[in-house]
Amino acid sequence: MQKLDLPKEIKGILSFDFDGTLLDPTTNPQLDPLFFEVIDELREQGWIWGINTGRSQMQTVAGFNEGVFPVLPDFMVARERELYTPGDYGRWKPITEWNKRSEKDHKKMFKKSKRLLKEIRSYVEESTNARWVSEEGDPAGVVATSHEEMDEIIAHIDERKSKVEMMGYLRNTIYMRFSHKDYHKGSSLAEITRRCDLDSSQVFAIGDGHNDIDMLHKDYAGMIACPANSSQEVKQHVEGQGGYLCKQPASLGVVEALRHFFD
Ligand SMILES: [Mg+2]
């Protein structure tokens, strides 16, 4: 996979959620090659593009193979908050200043919310069938057995999370992870935009899940869309923001939205 030189003048930014938006595991290929044709044309006009995902950096790189990427994206947002640019020999270079700040703020948040997380964990383990998960870099999260169960858990958390001002969470289907409320796909995208010396009117964003709602917002992207397979909540949100609701699912929806905004 080839890394491309940045355009001389960057005209704008295209931000794509990965799973369910570019990748559709129910189709073969998972990502329609038409997407790369459209990207090629937009890149020639100065638009750079990136993946903005809840996956870890390594899982995202694995996804480039699943999606048979002919070229590498110009940036990557992993775990909704870690920023990377493509380096040499297939390595991804962290944007250290931002990533370090995020890490520090997360440590602070987790320290402050220790007691509250303990309470929430007891509730999850004693009153639901969901599983509490803790892993390197993501010390607290929940995997529910159904969407309904996750709705209940989220309602429980929403009632309590104001106890710790910094506490936020990122939800995607039956998964959720606790995180600092200032770090999400939207604020990550804003940092990329700032680094390119652009403003939100020069940004396009598309996504299908709950954790995309943060970037599908006029504050972060002047052009927003969601594929036809998006959750109801995302569709309502995008409609409310005056965004574009695609008729087609996943990557075909992405191509449709790009043509809608750029043709
Ligand atoms: Mg998704």
> Is residue 215, in this structure, part of any structural domain at all?
yes
In sequence order, which residues have a C-beta less than 8 Å from that of residue 117 and are 6 or more positions away? 110, 140, 178
Task: Please indicate, yes or no, if residue 258 is contained in any of the structural domains.
Answer: yes
Q: How far is the CA of 50 from the centre of ligand 1 (A)?
A: 14
By C-alpha distance, which of 116, 49, 115 is closest to 77? 49
- pLDDT tens for each residue of 79-99: 999 999 999 888 999 999 999
Query: What is the Å distance from ligand 1's center to 242 Cα?
Result: 20
Strands of the 12-16 sheet, one edge to the other = 92-94, 82-86, 75-78, 47-52, 12-16, 203-206, 223-226, 244-245
136 and 204 part of one domain: no
Residue that terminates a domain, selected from 180, 211, 232: 180
Ligand 1 centroid to Cα of residue 229, in Å, is 10
Q: Report the separation in Å between the CA atom of 52 and the middle of ligand 1, taken as the mean of its atom positions.
A: 10
- Which structural domain range is residue 48 located in? 12-80+184-262
Per the CB < 8 A criterion, the answer to whether 10 and 196 are in contact is yes
- 166 within domain boundaries: yes
**Domain membership flag for residue 139:** yes
The Cα 54–Cα 57 span in angstroms is 9
Number of Cβ within a 10 Å radius of residue 38? 19
Of 180, 196, 225, the last residue of a domain is 180
Task: Give the number of domains in the chain.
Answer: 2
Task: List all residues 6 or more positions away from 90 whose beta carbon is below 8 Å from its beta carbon.
Answer: 1, 61
Centre of ligand 1 from the C-alpha of residue 25, in Å: 12
Gap from CA of 189 to ligand 1 centroid (Å): 16
Over the stretch 169-207, which tens digit does the pLDDT of each residue have? 999 889 999 999 999 999 999 999 999 999 999 999 999
CATH of the domain at 60: 3.40.50.1000
3, part of any domain: no
Could you tell me the distance, in angstroms and rounded to a whole number, from the CA of residue 209 to the centre of ligand 1?
Answer: 5
Kindly tell me if the per-residue pLDDT of 137 is higher than 90.
Answer: no
Which two tokens mark 31?
């990502």
Clarify whether residues 176 and 189 are in a common domain: no
Which of 122, 154, 180 represents a domain boundary (last residue)? 180
Does a structural domain hold residue 151? yes
Whole-structure pTM over 0.85, yes or no?
yes
How many angstroms separate the alpha carbon of residue 166 from the centre of ligand 1? Answer: 25
